[in-house]
């Protein structure tokens, strides 16, 4: 059966994913996508301005279109549909036949018919191309105005603020977010947004846009006032893209949109419509969750299952410009007999309202602004008609000391309760996944997709997970290994608070057995980051993995590589010569690393102290390439030399590398510092990244390379260096304290309850009141730093360990080198068997 | 109990204090590389097994981390962390790459290895 899908947005792709999950090999699907790129997350579009790229926002799993039965055509706009002939015509003239047709054309941004709306530097906010154009314009703009103070308009305002424009929101109605939020909530919302530096104008009717004096444009309003701006973005609502459907004779809804029945079928039994282009019972749904529901319904119906769409709950929770806003059900208390309870705290800028049925037993709706912690609970109560407690007002009143807020035990939810509406994941599905072994948020996200779209359900998913684990008698088991019944975080706490200084002490107090290759290095790292003793004192040496034991990176043949530190990648000519002379003297293989420093290979264990002595004499220190520690701070050359640089990235990078060198962390960490937005140092791929702007430094965190690369996220903007360092101190020590063993910052952040927001609260707002401690702990490491190589070569007892045989000066016969490209390489096992005299004689100590 | 007929093949390879407690060293014994471990869990004990890790082709077992896995005392080879039983030389994850064992004892403050 030939299926043509018109449109490849979020809902179109969900349709394809659902079809893919239903094993239906007889289907041949062609997807005609108008945009130049496949489906991406339009809900999180504003993250584009916070550093996410178009690729980061892609919703298409790698290899999705390689299976062969789904063909995606990009830049393929459908210009006509002929339902009698059952064909569609693409813009380039191609005509394609179908057995079933699916409209997933979405909506277009409504632009009010204002004179001047066609002017350059006026934009709409929908596609990546729109955003790229906005970004370009933003670089040469001072003031930006968003017309429309709804959900999307406020997202857009945040984007303008992220571009450092003086931002205004102009709204026709008397309040912001008029659909979801009531008067009381809108008042609080407006105040919070204004405090974030956005000017809000309500009850403003724009008449025309003409040339401005203090900006490219002048907006003239009906009340006689005006506003000048360099950039205008229209976000005044969406309208369904039903023009194609209209032209081919399909029935439309009263207010537009392709009319569909409960199976998502249009007036033509071979044509479906899903998402924002469809109208069900005259209603068009502007949220992604109902669209996903329609996509699933259509896919199932098309493949012969019974599936119905019966409308959607339009409840939503989001974060707008850092402000929590949530709206549930009948937020405006329109239901006959409904009664409201309201709570406003003008100091904390919180507004909460619940709408209760006339009998008082059921929750009909709610509005939450400033604090939406109860959203999950209230939503479930409304959806599942769970009876309210005797005094429902306590659901939203602040908790008094000692009184517990009447909680909704997750147990009160039936298995069918939909926890994640974007991906239609029920409580039952999550519980089954937990029983099958998914016992972290990261794992649940992977196997159920819950929490991976809008993210609003993550708190509730966590509650369901923990309750189920308790029921199964599963302790949250992230015991380090068989020797310690504690997580790494707990062990760190025990070490720190109990002032435990050695592994034998820890083993005696809290462990069993002899320890092993899992817990020894983990504890070594905890001890190092807490007390910072020399890692090779005998009691600590026994804990070290070979790399940290010999302060080099073991290679496949048992030799080690040597990496001297070159902070920021800067090195003098004399330094390079010295390193080169060492390489020649010891016959080492040389290579520049990805971290912008020199790596020397082929060193035998007994040669290491000699090599280090010469490097130390030339002014070098250990580069800790062997440690789970700071590797490098990658830097561009910055404003000192570069014509584009706006910040001195070189000096800052060197200062940072010298500050954090020697710190041991749960896994290796890498920094990047770029002197301008061209980002030559790739700071956005690093655990800690800094990018210079005219206003200071933007700080990014939790980026990683490796098997699953991940972009860093923006933590704070416009920082001076001192503040940036303080935040980095706190961030690093918080990571050291709470991460799991060998957990990189990206994975750690994904598993933090509350994610990036929580991280910001801890690091910037000091929500846990530990900032001073974290800074002091880090300062201790800085103050007690000393070069490990130097310590090793100057301590005779440590130095004695650097030999292959304890009872002979003979070299390891197993180490054999061959020549390659003018240097050495290790011989393979086969080559070693053949060679009787080594080609390159190893020099003896 | 049978008498050790090869008592004259005991060789002192090093002083006990040349081995950092709970680590290993490598000794040349009759032309072979032998990994010797000093396990100190209250009682002092030495073990000796072959030093060649066939999983990687490197002579490095002596440099591994010592520990316990259940009842076994093991060393984890530094290259790929294969575990070798210190008493039997068995490579737990790849028994075909198990190593030989040697007798080892502590006497007069030295470590002795016997065939």
Tell me: do A285 and A139 sit in the same domain.
no
Structural domain span for residue A203: 122-236
Residue A62 domain-assigned (yes or no)? yes
Q: A70 pLDDT band (50/70/90 cuts)?
A: very high
Angle, CA of A570, A574 and A580, to the nearest 5°: 90
- In this prediction the pTM is 0.65
- Dmax (CA) for chain B in angstroms is 40
Average pLDDT over residues A806-820: 95
Tell me: do A227 and A267 sit in the same domain.
no
Q: A836 pLDDT band (50/70/90 cuts)?
A: low
pLDDT in tens, A535-544: 999 999 999 9
pLDDT in tens, A12-33: 999 999 998 887 778 999 999 9
Q: Does A414 score more than 50 pLDDT?
A: yes
Tell me: do A223 and A251 sit in the same domain.
no
In chain A, what is the straight-line distance between the N-terminal and C-terminal CA atoms, in Å?
76
- Does residue A91 or residue A48 have the better pLDDT? A91
Tell me: do A185 and A258 sit in the same domain.
no
Average pLDDT over residues A33-51: 88
Of A515, A554, A804, the CB nearest to B67: A515
Tell me: do A244 and A218 sit in the same domain.
no
Residues of chain B found within 8 Å of residue A550, distances taken between Cβ atoms: 63
- Tell which of A519, A606, A806, A814 to mutate to test the B interface (max B CBs under 10 Å): A806
Which residues 554-583 in chain A show a CB within 8 A of chain B? Answer: 554, 556-558
Average pLDDT over residues A113-132: 94
Average pLDDT over residues B79-87: 95
Tell me: do A14 and A40 sit in the same domain.
yes
Residue of A492, A486, A480 whose CA lies nearest to A664: A492
Q: Among A206, A236, A266, which residue terminates a domain?
A: A236
pLDDT in tens, A185-224: 999 999 988 988 899 999 999 999 999 999 999 999 999 9
Q: A845 pLDDT band (50/70/90 cuts)?
A: very low
pLDDT in tens, A602-625: 999 999 999 999 999 999 999 999
Reported as half-sphere exposure (CB side, CA atoms, 13 A), residue A406 has a value of: 14
CB pairs under 8 A between A and B: 97
Residue A255 domain-assigned (yes or no)? yes
* Any B CB within 8 A of A831 CB: no
Distance of CA A735 to the CA centre of its chain: 16
Q: Does A320 score more than 80 pLDDT?
A: no
The answer to which of A208-222, A793-807, A824-838 has the lowest mean pLDDT is: A824-838
The answer to which of A293-302, A303-312, A568-577 has the lowest mean pLDDT is: A303-312
Average pLDDT over residues A722-749: 95
Burial, A409: exposed, middle or buried (Cβ in 10 Å; 0-12, 13-18, 19+)? exposed
* Any A CB within 8 A of B61 CB: no
Most confident stretch, A377-381, A557-561, B38-42: A557-561
Q: Does A127 score more than 70 pLDDT?
A: yes
* Any A CB within 8 A of B100 CB: no
Q: Give the pLDDT score at A62.
A: 85
Q: Give the pLDDT score at A602.
A: 97
Of B14, B26, B81, the CB nearest to A804: B26
Average pLDDT over residues A438-454: 82
C-alpha to C-alpha distance for A211 and A232, rounded to whole angstroms: 12
- What is the average pLDDT value for chain A, to the nearest integer? 92
Q: Are B27 and B13 in contact (CB under 8 A)?
A: yes
Q: A373 pLDDT band (50/70/90 cuts)?
A: confident
Query: Any idea what the CATH number is for the domain that residue A758 is in?
Result: 3.30.413.10
Per the structure block, which two tokens stand in for A442? 């990261």
Residue B10 falls in which region: left (phi positive, over 0), alpha (psi -120 to 50) or beta: beta
In A110-216, beta strands by DSSP E: 122-124, 143-147, 166-170, 198-201, 206-211
B1 to chain A, closest Cα gap in Å: 31
Average pLDDT over residues A822-842: 78
Of B14, B64, B65, the CB nearest to A806: B14
Which residues, including other chains, have CB under 8 Å from residue A182's CB and lie 6 or more apart?
A: A331, A332, A353, A367
Which domains does chain B carry? 7-114 (2.102.10.10)
Which residues 484-543 in chain A show a CB within 8 A of chain B? Answer: 513-517, 519-521, 538, 541-543
Q: A405 pLDDT band (50/70/90 cuts)?
A: low
Kindly write down the DSSP assignment for every residue of A474-530, as one continuous string. Answer: ------SBTTBSS-HHHHHHHHHHHT--SHHHHHHHHB-SS--TTHHHHHHHHHHHH
* Any A CB within 8 A of B38 CB: no
C-alpha to C-alpha distance for A545 and A541, rounded to whole angstroms: 9
A805·B65 Cβ contact <8 A: no
Per the structure block, which two tokens stand in for A365? 């709706």
Of A516, A554, A558, the CB nearest to B69: A516
Residues of chain A found within 8 Å of residue B59, distances taken between Cβ atoms: 558, 804, 812, 814
Residue A346 domain-assigned (yes or no)? no
Q: List C-alpha distances in Å: B58 to A558, B2, B85.
A: 6, 37, 18
Average pLDDT over residues A790-805: 96
The chain B residue lying nearest A802, using CA atoms, is: B25
* Any B CB within 8 A of A800 CB: yes
Residue A339 domain-assigned (yes or no)? no
Q: Give the pLDDT score at A120.
A: 94
Residue A466 domain-assigned (yes or no)? no
Query: Any idea what the CATH number is for the domain that residue A36 is in?
Result: 3.50.50.60
- Tell which of B13, B34, B37, B60 to mutate to test the A interface (max A CBs under 10 Å): B60
Q: Among A285, A302, A319, which residue terminates a domain?
A: A302
Tell me: do A648 and A766 sit in the same domain.
yes
C-alpha to C-alpha distance for A601 and A572, rounded to whole angstroms: 21
SS3 A231: strand
B58·A829 Cβ contact <8 A: no
Q: A408 pLDDT band (50/70/90 cuts)?
A: low
Q: Does A593 score more than 50 pLDDT?
A: yes
B4 to chain A, closest Cα gap in Å: 25
* Any A CB within 8 A of B30 CB: no
* Any B CB within 8 A of A801 CB: yes
Give the Cβ contact number of residue A407 at 10 Å: 12
- Does residue A313 or residue A817 have the better pLDDT? A817
* Any A CB within 8 A of B115 CB: no
Average pLDDT over residues A57-73: 89
Complex prediction ipTM: 0.93
Q: Give the pLDDT score at A362.
A: 93
Q: Give the pLDDT score at B1.
A: 40
Q: Does B110 score more than 90 pLDDT?
A: yes
Tell me: do A171 and A142 sit in the same domain.
yes
Average pLDDT over residues A354-362: 93
Tell me: do A781 and A648 sit in the same domain.
yes
Q: Give the pLDDT score at B2.
A: 43
Residue of A161, A158, A148, A142 whose CA lies nearest to A204: A148
Residue A685 domain-assigned (yes or no)? yes
Of B20, B28, B78, the CB nearest to A554: B78
Residue A355 domain-assigned (yes or no)? no
Tell me: do A652 and A759 sit in the same domain.
yes
pLDDT in tens, A683-722: 999 999 999 999 999 999 999 998 778 899 999 999 999 9
Tell me: do A652 and A754 sit in the same domain.
yes
Of A542, A545, A801, the CB nearest to B78: A545
Residues of chain A found within 8 Å of residue B81, distances taken between Cβ atoms: 517
What is the Cα Rg of chain A in Å?
Answer: 31
Tell me: do A219 and A255 sit in the same domain.
no
Q: Give the pLDDT score at A794.
A: 96
Say what percent of chain A tops pLDDT 70: 97
Average pLDDT over residues A292-300: 95
Question: What is the tally of structural domains in chain A?
Answer: 4
SS3 A820: strand
Residue A557 domain-assigned (yes or no)? no
DSSP A759: H
B60·A806 Cβ contact <8 A: no
* Any A CB within 8 A of B21 CB: yes
């Amino acid at each position: 059966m030939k299926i043509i899908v018109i449109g490849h947005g979020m809902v179109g792709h969900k349709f394809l994913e659902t079809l893919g999950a239903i094993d239906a090999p007889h289907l041949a699907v062609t997807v005609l996508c108008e945009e130049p790129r496949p489906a991406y997350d339009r809900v999180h579009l504003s993250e584009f301005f916070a550093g996410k790229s178009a690729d980061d926002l892609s919703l298409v799993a790698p290899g999705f279109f390689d299976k062969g039965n789904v063909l995606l055509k990009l830049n393929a706009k459908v210009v006509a549909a002929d339902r009698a002939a059952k064909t569609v015509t693409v813009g380039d003239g191609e005509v394609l036949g179908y057995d079933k047709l699916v409209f997933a054309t979405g909506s277009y941004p409504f632009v009010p018919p204002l004179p001047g709306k066609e002017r350059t530097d006026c934009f709409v906010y929908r596609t990546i191309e729109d955003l790229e154009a906005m970004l370009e314009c933003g670089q040469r703009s001072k003031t930006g105005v968003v017309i429309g103070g709804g959900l999307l308009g406020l997202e857009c305002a945040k984007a303008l603020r992220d571009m450092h424009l003086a931002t205004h929101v102009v709204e026709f109605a008397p309040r912001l977010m008029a659909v979801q939020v009531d008067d009381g909530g809108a008042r609080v919302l407006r105040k919070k947004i204004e405090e974030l530096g956005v000017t809000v104008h309500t009850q403003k009717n724009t008449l025309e846009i003409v040339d401005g004096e203090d900006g490219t444009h002048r907006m003239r309003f009906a009340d006689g006032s005006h506003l000048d701006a360099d950039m205008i973005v229209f976000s005044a609502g969406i309208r369904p893209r039903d023009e194609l459907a209209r032209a081919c004779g399909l029935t439309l809804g009263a207010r537009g949109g392709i009319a569909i029945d409960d199976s998502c079928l249009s007036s033509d039994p071979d044509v479906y419509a899903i998402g924002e282009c469809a109208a069900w019972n005259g209603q068009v749904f502007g949220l992604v969750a109902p669209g996903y529901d329609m996509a699933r319904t259509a896919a199932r119906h098309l493949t012969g299952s019974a599936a119905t769409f019966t409308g959607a709950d339009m409840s939503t929770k989001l974060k707008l410009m850092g402000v929590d806003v949530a709206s549930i059900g009948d937020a405006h208390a329109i239901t006959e007999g409904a009664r409201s309870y309201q709570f406003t705290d003008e100091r904390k800028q919180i507004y909460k309202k619940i709408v209760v049925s006339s009998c008082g037993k059921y929750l009909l709706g709610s509005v939450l602004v400033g604090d939406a912690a109860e959203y999950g609970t209230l939503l479930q109560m409304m959806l599942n008609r769970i009876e309210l407690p005797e005094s429902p007002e306590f659901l939203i009143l602040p908790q008094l000391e000692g009184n517990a807020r009447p909680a909704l035990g997750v147990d009160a939810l039936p298995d069918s309760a939909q926890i994640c509406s974007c991906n239609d994941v029920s409580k039952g599905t999550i519980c089954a996944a937990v029983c099958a072994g998914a016992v972290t948020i990261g794992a649940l996200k992977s196997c159920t997709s819950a929490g991976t779209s809008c993210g609003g359900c993550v708190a509730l998913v966590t509650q369901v997970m923990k309750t189920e684990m308790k029921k199964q008698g599963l302790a949250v088991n992230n015991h380090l290994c068989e020797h310690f019944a504690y997580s790494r975080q707990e062990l760190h706490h025990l070490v720190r608070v109990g002032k435990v200084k050695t592994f034998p002490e820890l083993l005696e107090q809290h462990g069993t057995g002899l320890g092993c290759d899992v817990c020894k290095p983990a504890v070594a790292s905890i001890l190092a980051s807490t007390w910072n003793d020399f890692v090779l004192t005998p009691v600590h040496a026994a804990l070290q993995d070979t790399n940290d034991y010999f302060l080099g990176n073991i290679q496949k043949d048992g030799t080690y590589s040597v990496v001297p530190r070159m902070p920021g990648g800067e090195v003098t000519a004399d330094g390079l010569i010295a390193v080169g002379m060492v390489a020649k003297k010891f016959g080492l293989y040389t290579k520049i690393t990805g971290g912008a420093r020199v790596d020397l290979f082929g060193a035998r264990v007994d040669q290491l102290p000699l090599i280090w002595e010469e490097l130390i004499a030339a002014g070098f220190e250990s580069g800790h390439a062997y440690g789970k520690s700071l590797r490098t701070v990658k830097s561009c050359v910055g404003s000192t030399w570069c014509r584009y640089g706006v910040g001195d990235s070189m000096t800052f990078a060197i200062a940072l590398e010298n500050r954090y060198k020697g710190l041991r962390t749960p896994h290796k960490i890498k920094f990047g510092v770029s002197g301008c937005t061209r980002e030559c140092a790739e700071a956005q791929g690093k655990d800690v990244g800094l990018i210079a702007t005219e206003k200071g430094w933007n700080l990014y965190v939790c980026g990683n390379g490796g098997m699953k690369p991940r972009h860093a996220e923006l933590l704070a903007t416009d920082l001076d260096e001192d503040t940036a360092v303080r935040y980095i101190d706190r961030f690093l020590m918080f990571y050291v304290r709470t991460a799991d063993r060998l957990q990189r910052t990206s994975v750690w952040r994904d598993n933090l309850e509350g994610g990036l927001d929580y991280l910001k609260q801890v690091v910037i707002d000091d929500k846990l009141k530990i900032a001073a401690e974290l800074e002091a702990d880090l300062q201790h490491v800085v103050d007690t730093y000393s070069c490990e190589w130097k310590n090793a070569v100057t301590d005779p007892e440590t130095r004695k360990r650097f030999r292959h045989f304890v009872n002979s000066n003979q070299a390891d016969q197993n180490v054999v080198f061959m020549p390659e490209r003018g240097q050495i390489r290790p011989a393979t096992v086969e080559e070693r068997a053949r060679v009787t005299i080594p080609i390159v004689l190893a020099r003896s100590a | 109990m049978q008498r050790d007929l090869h008592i004259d093949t005991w060789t002192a390879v090093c002083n006990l204090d040349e081995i950092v407690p709970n680590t290993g060293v490598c000794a040349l014994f009759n032309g072979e590389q032998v990994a010797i471990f000093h396990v100190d869990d209250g009682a002092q004990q030495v073990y000796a097994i072959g030093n060649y890790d066939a999983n990687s082709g490197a002579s490095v077992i002596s440099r591994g981390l010592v520990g316990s896995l259940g009842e076994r005392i093991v060393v984890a080879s530094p290259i790929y962390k294969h575990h070798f039983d210190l008493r039997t030389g068995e490579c737990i994850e790849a028994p075909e790459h198990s190593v030989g064992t040697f007798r080892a004892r502590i006497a007069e403050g030295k470590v002795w290895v016997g065939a």
